[in-house]
Structure 1
Amino acid sequence: MIKFSFVLAATIAATTTFVRAQVGTDVERAPTLTNERYVEDWSYLADPSRRTGHWTEPFKYIPLDEHGLVYLTTGMEARSRYEGYTNVNWGSAPNDSYIWHRFMPYADLHAGKVRLFTQPIFSEITGTDRPVRPVDTTGADMLQAFGEIEMDVGDRTALRMSAGRKLMSLGAGRFIDTRYGPNVPQAFDGLDAVVTSADRQVTVLYARPIDNFPGDFDDRPSRQKSVWGAYATEWLRENRSIGVDVYYLGLLDRDAIFDQGCGRERAHTFGTRIFGDTGTWFWNVEGALQRGSFGTHRVAAWGIGGEFGYRFLQTWLQPEVRFMSDVISGDNNPDDPNLETFNPLFPRGKYFGALSPVGPRNLIQVRPSISVHPRRDVAVSLTGGAFWRQSAADGIYGVPGNLVRSGKGSDARFIGHQVELSVAWQATAELNLSASLSTFEPGRFISDTGPSQTITLISLMANFRF
């Protein structure tokens, strides 16, 4: 195992050349960019007095008529990410290293209350001979392509309806998210309607996830899974920094896989989230109950998690501390046909950091972290984590839902602990550079059920986008 003291010293030394990664935290350097891109509004550039002269502005607002009602917004992302693993799956699989590449331009055409949004993706993986996975590459394909219409339905209330293929993220991304961290994001084909007023928003949707294949233009909607539901947010402050979410999300998976077995699962998830950010204190707490059927038997699962943090804005290095934790149910009796393993649907890709060998099923985890900012554009973060099985009768799962280790060979709960150190530099308003070093040391459950060597990951990333 790499000694932690060496890792810490090397990373602190690197901070002299790396700068802050969080695009949008410094509005003087970069406007807030989003992973979905279509939620960005650049119409304010129609007013010449609000332009700064930055070189990207001619691409963000291109008027196509004399009244400015028809305009085009364009942009792109070019990202390369190196990942080098030793002891994959604690030594169950060969060491692996590769470079992910992706290029994602987009065009957003507005014509009054109608818009057309398109974003192709060109992706590749180099440096490895292993079979590629859906998150590695999809060749050349259409990541997003949808049409949208907006209409006023009341005082300061608008309805937007869209149809087509798009990236989606709801709330904190625990159930539906863009899977932005891996090389190929998770898109959906479907319909959605969003009603937004000054203090609330309601989203109704039906969609099928896109299955990715390595050939060009061969991605297609899943025949196995579909998702539907309603997600409502009530903002308690005018700036939308504090609020409450309530939601229902339904999932049909015709071939769900659990340690208990395989079968058709229909899961109904009912949840709520409380979130807020005062500038110094911030919090995000979420809980959900899951009911439904697995085969001919019932589903009864649950999960609760969240984070609390504080920013020392007037202190040298402006440290930010946070504490994150989750308790997520697993199946208590494999001989009982009822299922108690929680299904997180389509969660964010790098769920517990750059190194995430376990996902949010049958899990208890605690993760404190601290971030410091040696310069205005520098972020250095250190995160530790400990992981246990919630149920000693169930296995552990990866972020996509695959069974990583069966629980049948051990009654131990402790999975292991993880340490991750990351540094990032917002070199320009468009270019972000970052690096991380992670280790996951196995606990008794891993040593009881197979190879149990320490996983290490080194990652380097350059991301240019506007």
Structure 2
Amino acid sequence: MPRLAPAILLAALIPAKVAAQTTEAWQAPTLSITRYDEDWSDLADAEKRGHHWTGQFKYIPITDDIWLSTGVELRARNEDYKNNLWGGGDAPDDSYLWLRALPYADLHVGRVRAFAQPVIAYAAGVRPSASPIDQTRVDMLQAFGELDLGPVTVRGGRQMLSLGTERLVGTRYGPNVPLAFDGVRGIVSIGKSKLSLLAMKPVAPGPGSFDDRTSPTKALWGAYATLPRLDLYYLGYRNRAAKFGGQQGREERHTLGVRYYGASHDWHWNIEAAGQFGTFADKKIGAWTVATEVGRTLSGIPLSPDATVRFNVVSGDTHRDDNRLGTFNALFPKGKYFGELSPVGPTNIISLNPRLSAPLGKQFSASVAGMGYWRYATADGVYDIPGNLIRAPGNSKARFIGKEAEVTLAWQATAELELSTSFSVFAPGDFIKETGPAKTIRMIGLEGNFRF
């Protein structure tokens, strides 16, 4: 449930809850996944700090020009699978517990800033064994310094990135261990517009404490401009150990994209298109994607539900043996891309996703969604979210991968505590049936998230 995931719900619900306990002259910042985006400087006013119990943690004055902001996220999540990967996974029936703590400290010294956020992430019951995405034990998720030069901000060190709606570069928030990058980012602000210039390498988490390292094979660079209702971007990517279609080689890929989004009256929309070119081994890259999302709040009926339809087309490789690679690379997308259960990722796929969500009163909210998935190119297979091939094309010419249904329920118990659950089923289509195990996947998710 990407739109009803705990972080998104908290971002939507907490400000209203906190604001109700404060004066009309001040409203708390939206709590975000990237905690460094929150601006608590207005709490320099001691009277405002006293309106909510978290105020004493969000602004700690040290001197007139030095102050500290702190906070934490505590999350417990259980996922119970039956027939994972349609019965073809290493442990198709599994139930495991993820535990995660993300404390942070944000020190401001005049125009200089230092931000640190450790991650404590453990997993219990993951079979056959926990991967570094399940469990990294104790490590440093973010640690950077920042210099504010007015319209220009320069940030260097380890940091999470969230660009647009995270179709290409995201925080991987849904899994237990988020994604961070090592490098430099410059942000130029001009009125309501921002331009981000970045040169980064992703952090590869290790299974033990304090063993996360900068990736030796992958790099990301580019420019991302955010204008009113419009994003424009260029992203460069290099992977010296890329794999496509059973071949391994050096990949250098360039992405040009545009995103148009907004809301008017009861309507909202988010439309994004991107094209990719470059080289992989001895092949030239030519890939693309178009993603659309159009929704409307049905204010004339009880509960005023929001009805949204998403339609995505992501290119695949149409010919296996030529010198051209048409498989789109989603780079570093968000963790639960199509929903709480997302066995397939945004590569070589056509997807249709209608969704209905609504507040139910007393801080409850719910959603129900359906998904249909087809292969774009029959010569290419099915990939997971990180871009790994999970079902080769074989000799199948079938396009239909399968259909999915998902129901979610969330309760904002307090301003800081949110509880949620989801139930998902994925019935395989002809392609899955023709190429391997083809059982119906079932997943139940339970989650508690405390954050301030």
- TM-score, normalisation: structure 1: 0.91
Q: 1:145 to 1:337 in 2, by over 3 A?
A: same
Amino acid at match of 1:86: K
Give the letter for the 1:177 counterpart: G
Q: Deviations over 1:34-92 (max 9, x none)?
A: 00100100011112454462110100000111x2x210000001100000101011011
Alignment of 1:210-289 (within 5 A): 210-235=203-228, 243-259=229-245, 261-278=247-264, 280-289=266-275
CA distance in 1, matches of 2:349, 2:395: 17
Question: Quick one: structure 1 residues 131 and 392, their matched pair in 2 at CA, closer, same or farther if it must change by over 3 Å?
Answer: same
Whether the 8 Å CA contact 2:67–2:108 is kept in 1: the answer is: yes
Q: Which residue of 1 aligns with 2:284?
A: 298
- Give yes or no for the alignment of 1:70 onto 2:63: no
| Gap regions ≥5 residues in structure 1 | 1-18, 153-157, 236-242
Q: Map of 1:95-244 to 2, 5 A cutoff? A: 95-152=93-150, 158-235=151-228, 243-244=229-230
Give the Cα–Cα distance (whole angstroms) in 2 for the partners of residues 377 and 203 of structure 1: 36
1:235-270 per-position Cα deviation (integer Å, ceiling 9, x unaligned):
1xxxxxxx1011000000111122252221100000
Distance in 2 (alpha carbons) for counterparts of 1:431 and 1:233: 32
CA contact (8 A) 1:20 1:373 kept: no
Equivalent AA in structure 1 for residue 33 of structure 2: N
How many correspondences in the alignment?
434
The answer to whether residue 86 in structure 2 is matched with residue 86 in structure 1 is no
In the alignment, structure 1 residue 23 sits paired with structure 2 residue 10:
yes
> In structure 2, do the counterparts of structure 1 residues 331 and 21 end up closer, same or farther at CA, with 3 Å as the change threshold?
closer
Q: Which moved more, 1:295-304 or 1:439-448?
A: 295-304
Query: 3-state SS of the aligned residue for 1:24?
Result: helix
Q: Structure 2 stretches of 5 or more lacking a match?
A: 1-5, 19-27
Contact 2:96 2:125 in 1 (8 A): yes
Q: Does 1:347 align with 2:333?
A: yes
8 Å CA contact retained: 1:20, 1:426: no
Give the superposition deviation at 1:315.
Answer: 3.5
CA distance in 1, matches of 2:67, 2:96: 40
Q: Which residue of 1 aligns with 2:442?
A: 456
Amino acid at match of 1:210: V
Cα deviation, 1:348-402, whole Å, max 9, x if unaligned, reads: 0000111000000000000000012110521110010000000000001000111
User: TM-score, length-normalised on structure 2?
Assistant: 0.94
Question: What is the correspondence of 1:374-413 to structure 2 with a 5 Å cutoff?
Answer: 374-375=360-361, 377-413=363-399
Give the Å deviation of 1:222. Answer: 0.3
- Where 1:25 maps in the other structure, the secondary structure is helix
Corresponding residue for 1:307?
293
Larger RCO: 1 or 2 (CA < 8 Å, sep 6+): 1
Give the 3-state SS of the residue equivalent to 1:104 in structure 2.
strand
Note the C-alpha offset of 1:197: 2.2
* Residue type at the aligned position of 1:55: W
**AA of the residue aligned to 1:405:** R
**Contact preservation (8 Å) 2:157, 2:183:** yes
| Secondary structure at 2:77 match in 1 | strand
Q: Given the superposition, is the C-alpha separation of residues 404 and 347 from structure 1 closer, same or farther in structure 2, using an over 3 Å criterion?
A: same
Superposition misfits of 4+ residues, deviation over 6 angstroms: none
In structure 2, distance between residues paired with 1:103 and 1:444: 42
193-202 or 387-396: bigger deviation: 193-202
Q: Which letter does structure 2 place at the counterpart of 1:295?
A: A
- Distance of 2:100 and 2:7 partners within structure 1: 22
Whole-angstrom distance in 2 between the partners of 1:72 and 1:279: 40
| 1:175 partner letter | L
Report if aligned partners of 1:21, 1:432 keep a CA contact under 8 Å in 2.
no
Q: Which amino acid aligns with 1:75?
A: G
Q: Output the CA distance in 1 between the equivalents of 2:388 and 2:231.
A: 29
Contact 1:395-1:403 at 8 Å conserved across structures: yes
Secondary structure of the 1:446 match is helix
Deviates more, 1:22-31 or 1:224-233: 22-31
Paired residues of 2:98 and 2:134 also in contact (CA < 8 A): yes
Q: Which moved more, 1:45-54 or 1:299-308?
A: 45-54
